[in-house]
């Protein structure tokens, strides 16, 4: 596992071909390296990547990551999804003062697993919950946030170093 530093700019990534199984898998395989949280639908893992979700779950856990393998009735993903997160990095990210304030404002948990479950089951609409939406995007290292600059009271991200 990498150590966490105090400053953050989401890792710059070149444009990716999201149809490639290898590129799709990066969403989970980069957890603990460039992002604290990632997920892929179970159908994507099986049908496009040729990977059994439970087997990948074991591999990710062997790397020291926490995982949640959710069925379709447990999350907003039609086929269910595999979520992976770096618990230590996620805890550091969620408890930063500005991030903790954002989570408290919207009634979201600061505990890593509870936060992941909340992202799996509830939508934070950009139109009505912009700071929370930004925080979630930063946790997933959304490529649209490469040049994100935190507003005065907005969420603050992290980086692995």
pTM: 0.82
The CA dihedral of 89, 3, 146, 151, to the nearest 10 degrees, is: 60
Residue with tokens 């992290």, as numbered in its chain? 158
Helix (H, G, I), strand (E, B) or coil at 8: coil
Share the mean pLDDT of the chain. 85
**Domain boundaries, given as residue ranges, for the chain:** 17-156
End-to-end CA distance of the chain: 10
- Residues 49-65 as b/e (b if ≥16 CB within 10 A, e otherwise) read bebebeebbeebeeeeb
120-145 tens-digit pLDDT: 999 887 777 888 988 998 999 887 76
């Amino acid at each position: 596992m990498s150590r966490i530093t105090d400053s953050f700019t989401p890792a710059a990534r070149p444009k990716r071909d999201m149809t490639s199984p290898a590129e799709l898998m990066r969403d989970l395989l980069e957890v603990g390296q460039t992002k604290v949280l990632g997920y892929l639908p179970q159908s994507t893992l099986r049908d496009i990547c040729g990977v059994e979700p439970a087997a990948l779950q074991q591999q990710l856990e062997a790397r020291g990551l926490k995982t949640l393998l959710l069925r379709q009735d447990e999350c907003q993903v039609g086929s269910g999804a595999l979520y992976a997160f770096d618990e230590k990095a996620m805890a550091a990210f969620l408890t930063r003062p500005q991030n903790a304030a954002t989570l408290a404002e919207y009634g979201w948990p600061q505990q890593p697993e509870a936060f992941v479950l909340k992202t799996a089951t509830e939508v934070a609409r950009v139109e009505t919950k912009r700071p929370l939406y930004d925080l979630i995007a930063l946790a997933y290292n959304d490529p649209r946030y490469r040049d994100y600059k935190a507003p005065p009271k907005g969420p603050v991200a992290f980086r692995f170093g």
